């Protein structure tokens, strides 16, 4: 028996949105509420269309949730909820092993618009209840690859379904208008690359193109272009999506081509379980002009081997990097920053911080005296033991540039994820943020 749901759709007026960040905040927050199946927010039309389960939500509760975010939401006569039909389809799985059928069940459950997936013993298959306006029968069938009897599909433990020959990945080429610098390409790659169903993305400024490897059963071309539009760019399909077959080596080359290449001194011993204190290095970075440059450096350097955190200040022209010296060196970090597009960044050690300040990764390390300073280090004052600091500190920071509640949520969400931060509260009216943090794990300057 399939799951019975009572779905409805409603269009709510939304006032107070000023940018694409507001759109994303509403979609992310409301989209996670119980009973919300899908939400689409339009900045131009100032509305939000929500598909929801009436047993969990109502137009009034959804409108109230939007207002709780700091926006104005209105319910007009045209905001009455309209019923949304569902459909049920049996997907045959007679050629799959029990493990393969379980994998297919999980894959179908991730598709947007799928409400319920259950095993059907006779005839053998999976019974799927879905919303036809969000997905189609063909997409459901494509998501389940049943091997032919003559050539059973083998999936090894080291190969994910999306990377097999019948994984269903597709290659899409888009023409993107509005990019002016390499920070634009980084923004698009960062936002689209995080979407569910995106395997790989590469954006080229010179040709104004984006090459995307994606899973059609998890995300549509329209969703991809819409999300690029939310980022502030216009995207057009340049070539029709085509099925793609990638070997593991090809996927590896594609991944490597998107990251700066570093020669790690410990590549042969990355598996060794040796606990070494990480280091904190401050670099002066010349050539940054805007916030996109900051994001460009932080996003690319943070994924390098051995790098645990990166904080970049545009105003101070400073980059504070916490890293593992066994996996990467300061010189390699500098080379990686200077190699980033557009190629205008120049780095040098930050004043007296040419010496490296140990940052303990284990609680017991706080009780261990710092290592003897090397000849190249400055003064021992730069290596104060961590136990001289309090266990918790609170700081109030004046913040300018916030325009709406979305800015508040973005700051609170981003800072709260920083290692060592225990509390983050931002006031839009007072232009102030109150942050509580552990000085053993982070610093005020970082």
Tell me the backbone φ, ψ of residue 154, rounded to 5 degrees. -110, 130
Q: Is the dihedral of CA 325, 329, 333, 339 positive or negative?
A: negative
> Measured in Å, how far apart are the chain's first and last C-alpha atoms?
55
Q: What's the confidence (pLDDT) of residue 78?
A: 64
Average pLDDT over residues 416-436: 83
Q: Quick one: pLDDT band at residue 61, thresholds 50, 70, 90?
A: very high
Bridge partners, 14 (sequence order): 73
| C-alpha span between 11 and 74 (Å, rounded) | 10
pLDDT digits (tens, 9 = 90+) for 69-115: 888 988 876 667 888 888 888 888 777 788 887 888 888 887 878 88
- Tell me phi and psi for residue 173, to 5 degrees: -115, 125
**Region 17-37: what's the mean pLDDT?**
84
* Tokens, residue 204: 């080229």
Burial class of residue 348 in the structure, from the number of CB atoms within 10 Å of its CB (0-12 exposed, 13-18 middle, 19+ buried): exposed
SS3 category, 21:
helix
- The residue with greater pLDDT, 73 or 139, is 73
| Averaged pLDDT of the chain | 73
Angle at 424 between CA 421 and CA 430, to 5 degrees: 145
Mean pLDDT, residues 242-255: 50
204, containing H or E segment:
strand 198-204
Of 51-55, 72-76, 255-259, 433-437, which one has max mean pLDDT? Answer: 51-55
pLDDT of 355 reads 40
Residue 363 has pLDDT above 70, yes or no: no
CB 91 within 8 A of CB 141: yes
| Overall average pLDDT of the 55-74 stretch | 90
The pLDDT tens digits of the residues spanning 174-218 come to 889 888 777 778 888 888 888 888 888 888 888 888 888 888 877
pLDDT digit string (tens) for 327-350?
889 999 998 898 887 778 899 998
Q: What distance in Å separates the CA atoms of residue 365 and residue 358, rounded to the nearest whole number?
A: 10
pLDDT score for 285: 92
| Polymer length of the chain | 446
Q: For 53-67, 122-136, 385-399, which range has the lowest pLDDT when averaged over its residues?
A: 385-399
Tell me: pLDDT of 3 over 70: no
How does residue 371 score in pLDDT terms, banded at 50, 70 and 90? Answer: very low
- State how beta strands 87-92 and 72-74 pair: unpaired
Which comes out higher in pLDDT, residue 158 or 281?
281
Whole-structure pTM value: 0.38
Q: How confident is the model at residue 273 (pLDDT cuts 50, 70, 90)?
A: very low
Domains and CATH numbers, the chain: 7-83 (3.30.70.100), 87-146 (3.30.70.100), 170-256 (3.30.70.100), 277-365+375-383 (3.30.70.100), 393-437 (3.30.70.100)
C-alpha–C-alpha distance, residues 336 and 285, integer Å: 12
pLDDT of residue 168: 63
Better-scored residue on pLDDT, 317 or 159: 317
Query: What is the DSSP secondary-structure string of 285-350?
Result: EE---SHHHHHHHHHHHTTSTTEEEEEEETTTTEEEEEE-TTT--HHHHHHHHHHSTTS--EEEE-
What pLDDT is recorded for position 157? Answer: 37
Task: Assign 18 a pLDDT band (cuts: 50, 70, 90).
Answer: confident
Report the SS3 class of residue 278.
Answer: strand
Non-local CB neighbours of 148 within 8 Å, separated by 6+ positions: 95
Residue 68 neighbours by CB under 8 Å, 6+ apart: none
Burial grade of 407 (CB within 10 A; 0-12, 13-18, 19 or more): buried
Model confidence at 445, pLDDT cuts 50, 70, 90, reads low
């Amino acid at each position: 028996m399939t799951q019975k749901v009572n779905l409805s759709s409603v269009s709510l007026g939304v006032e107070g949105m000023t940018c694409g960040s507001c759109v994303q905040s509403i979609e992310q927050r409301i989209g996670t509420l119980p009973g919300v199946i899908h939400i689409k927010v339009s900045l131009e039309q100032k509305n939000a269309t929500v598909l929801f389960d009436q047993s969990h939500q109502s137009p009034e509760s959804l409108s109230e949730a939007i207002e709780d975010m700091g926006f104005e939401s209105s319910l007009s006569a045209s905001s009455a909820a309209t019923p949304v039909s569902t459909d049920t389809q049996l997907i045959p799985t007679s050629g799959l092993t029990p493990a393969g059928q379980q994998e297919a069940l999980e894959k179908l459950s991730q598709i947007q618009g799928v409400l319920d997936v259950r095993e059907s013993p006779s005839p053998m298959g999976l019974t799927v209840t879905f919303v036809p306006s969000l997905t189609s029968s063909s997409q459901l069938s494509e998501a389940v690859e049943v091997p032919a009897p003559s050539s059973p599909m083998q999936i090894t433990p080291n190969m994910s379904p999306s990377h097999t020959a019948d994984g269903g990945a597709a290659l899409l080429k888009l023409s993107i208008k509005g990019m002016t610098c390499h920070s634009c390409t980084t923004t698009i790659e960062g936002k689209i690359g995080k979407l569910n169903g995106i395997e790989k993305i590469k954006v080229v400024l010179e040709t104004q193109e984006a090459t995307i490897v994606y899973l059609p059963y998890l995300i549509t071309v329209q969703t991809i272009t819409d999300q690029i539009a939310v980022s502030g760019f216009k995207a057009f399909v340049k070539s029709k999506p085509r099925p793609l077959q990638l070997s593991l080596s090809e996927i590896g080359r594609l991944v490597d081509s998107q990251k700066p290449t570093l020669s790690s001194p410990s590549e042969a011993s990355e598996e060794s379980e040796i606990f070494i204190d990480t280091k904190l290095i401050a670099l002066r970075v010349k050539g940054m002009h805007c916030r996109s440059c900051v994001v460009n450096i932080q996003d690319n350097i943070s994924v390098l081997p051995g790098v645990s955190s990166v904080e970049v200040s545009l105003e101070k022209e400073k980059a504070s990097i916490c890293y593992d010296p066994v996996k990467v060196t300061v010189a390699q970090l500098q080379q990686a920053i200077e190699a980033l597009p557009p190629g205008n960044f120049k780095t040098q050690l930050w004043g007296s911080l040419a010496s490296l300040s140990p940052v303990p990764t284990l609680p017991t390390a706080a009780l261990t005296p710092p290592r003897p300073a090397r000849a190249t280090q400055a003064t021992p004052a730069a290596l104060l033991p961590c136990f001289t600091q309090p266990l918790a500190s609170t700081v109030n920071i004046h913040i300018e540039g916030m325009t709406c509640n979305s800015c508040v949520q973005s700051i609170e969400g981003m800072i709260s994820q920083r290692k060592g931060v225990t509390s983050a509260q931002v006031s839009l009216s007072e232009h102030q943020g109150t942050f509580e943090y552990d000085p053993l794990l982070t610093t005020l300057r970082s």
